[in-house]
Structure 1
């Protein structure tokens, strides 16, 4: 039997994409650095200061994958043997058989799902609600359901590899614990990593889980779609500007601004000193050094781009830590912008240097 984490094929990056990726493609791991999920996670953590929203979305998506694996295993047991009466009713068996293989690779927002995927997910949620009622009748399951998970309960990602059920299997209790973990971590007032959602959404999810005992994926659909749209509207455009149109992060940009201003100040001060001391033009050629450093740093700050790093194919993701630019379209985009920034730098630097080197000197 396949491992749960490998039961669904991993999405492959689209190397032929001749455009910037969408948020859904980034979250689906279909992109490469510097516009991959890891880079977006760092951006949400360090720049947006709202990584809890991304963690919530990823945990809900993982909860969906957990449910799919559970249902997929039950469906296989139905297809290869006659299910035991207490495990599955005839109606639920029919739902399982008609559900299909549930092989779509990622759990995305409703707007991106095909009609077939929406139908399969709706059938899966319906089955889990019926299956929940069956487990609710069990004294052991009922006692388990009333207990809140402890703070150190495994996250949905960990359930895939560290379940209390037999190896490679997902127990019904795992799904329940996963749903409760999401609720108690992100949604309840005063939660450890509470995210801000409309009150009606939070109340509906809380009521569904705590009062009605639901743990099927549909219970999080509205909240998940709201968080996705918020990230797509508020965070993702800035992420693309930083990572696809530039290769520097704000901290090093500020350092370059400071270095650029100091170099330009030093260059202008030295230029006027040399002019009013009537130094020869050969001596004044040394002005090229501070002016070049200053213009280069200021241009890098203005365009959030280091031209030489871009031409070498590197992008900064944490201070002074660089990764290879592997997304083809982004690599081409950064190379073109690097040529433009370098041309501007050379033009401005040459103009300033020629002005202060060629101007006649006058000793005061």
Structure 2
């Protein structure tokens, strides 16, 4: 009996609302509210990308554990050699009771279904058992000397040397799955847990994040003293970081990406151009009036006023109307991505039309005022 492969998460193109942060982190959204855009926002605007990297690494650790257990379960379903059935009977029963685990995403505990929570709890309980049982089962099924060596090696808690891991702190915008492409050994799970601890949680770590002391202390004790590496070790920290990002960062991300299409450097550039253009427009307009130029000459103040009003309105709305109507959004300075999220595209189009209407009205008022006012040569 073959195990059904878990489907990769895909974007929900029929969503008629703004996405939630969990949908963004789960890669279920499209630009400009996708995970890559959120990563850029956390890096450039919030200056707190370490929290997002911690979340992604913990999610990757969960996927690594699930991949490891699925491999063991698949091997059990194929069949265990006759001589090893007695030794692996208990572990085989646990693995078969876990089910298919067709939920590859590692979300916050409050969003998990009862079935997912039960399966994750059983998986963590299985991983907490004596590593030698899992290693014996793994090596008996694979028949690989390399797997036997990596599965039976005991990792001591006092080893602080950084381990090589498949995880990366960078987000691949083209990736829709957290599952590794290679066979997972028990040592990979241990190395993954230690990498998270030594990178983000220990005092003075390379990318230390601020968490309540009780949470970091519990994680440190579990990994270094108790030798644990199951996903439940990071549950409290994962939920804390998720709630912090959802409360402090995500609303600003939606305001910037779902209601605007400019980044702060572009807004500052438009403000500078707008102020310069409005000063030039007033200077030219008053000069033409006081030199008593005819109206058909003064009509040319339309150009600097249009540039000035357009740039100032774009800064005020954090939105370039023409760019939005063309279907583009800026994710870094002068780098653009096509808007693919349908609901966000509709919002931006409506706001773009409102902004253009404001530009036309203000521009028309300024032109009428300075063109039809009587001239007087000084």
Fold match (TM-score > 0.5): yes
1:48-197 matched pairs, under 5 angstroms: 48-82=46-80, 85=84, 89-132=88-131, 134=133, 141-143=153-155, 146-150=158-162, 153-157=164-168, 168-197=182-211
1:347 paired to 2:361: yes
Q: In the alignment, which residue of structure 1 is the partner of 2:30?
A: 32
1:301 paired to 2:286: no
Q: Distance in 1 between matches of 2:131 and 2:365?
A: 75
Question: How many residues in Structure 1 have an aligned counterpart in Structure 2?
Answer: 354
Q: Distance in 2 between matches of 1:146 and 1:74?
A: 28
Q: Deviation at 1:278?
A: 1.0
Q: In the alignment, which residue of structure 2 is the partner of 1:291?
A: 305
Q: In the alignment, which residue of structure 2 is the partner of 1:222?
A: 236
* SS at structure 2 position matched to 1:47: helix
- The one-character-per-residue Cα deviations of 1:287-340 (angstroms, maximum 9, x if unpaired) are 001100000000000000000000000000111111100000001110011000
Contact 1:26 1:35 in 2 (8 A): yes
Contact 1:160 1:170 in 2 (8 A): no
1:196-211 matched pairs, under 5 angstroms: 196-211=210-225
Contact 2:131 2:152 in 1 (8 A): no
Q: Distance in 2 between matches of 1:28 and 1:197?
A: 23
Q: Any unmatched runs of 5+ in structure 1? A: 163-167
Contact 2:302 2:367 in 1 (8 A): yes
Q: Distance in 1 between matches of 2:168 and 2:60?
A: 6
Q: Distance in 1 between matches of 2:133 and 2:99?
A: 22
Q: Distance in 2 between matches of 1:144 and 1:16?
A: 50
Out of 26-35 and 135-144, give the one that drifted further: 135-144
1:243 paired to 2:257: yes
Q: Any unmatched runs of 5+ in structure 2? A: 137-148, 170-177
Q: 1:181 to 1:235 in 2, by over 3 A?
A: same
Contact 2:278 2:309 in 1 (8 A): yes
Contact 1:62 1:157 in 2 (8 A): no
Contact 2:38 2:253 in 1 (8 A): yes
Q: Distance in 2 between matches of 1:124 and 1:88?
A: 19
* SS at structure 2 position matched to 1:30: coil
Q: Distance in 2 between matches of 1:35 and 1:319?
A: 17
Contact 1:296 1:345 in 2 (8 A): yes
Q: Deviation at 1:85?
A: 4.9
Q: Distance in 2 between matches of 1:30 and 1:9?
A: 13
Out of 218-227 and 102-111, give the one that drifted further: 102-111
TM-score by length of 2: 0.88
Q: 1:91 to 1:313 in 2, by over 3 A?
A: same
Q: Distance in 2 between matches of 1:47 and 1:109?
A: 24
Q: Distance in 1 between matches of 2:192 and 2:367?
A: 64
Q: Distance in 1 between matches of 2:327 and 2:86?
A: 56
Q: In the alignment, which residue of structure 2 is the partner of 1:15?
A: 13
Contact 2:155 2:190 in 1 (8 A): no
Out of 86-95 and 219-228, give the one that drifted further: 86-95
Give RMSD over aligned pairs: 2.3
* SS at structure 1 position matched to 2:153: helix
* SS at structure 2 position matched to 1:185: helix
The ranges of structure 1 where at least 4 consecutive aligned residues each deviate by more than 6 angstroms after the TM superposition are 135-139
Out of 269-278 and 35-44, give the one that drifted further: 269-278
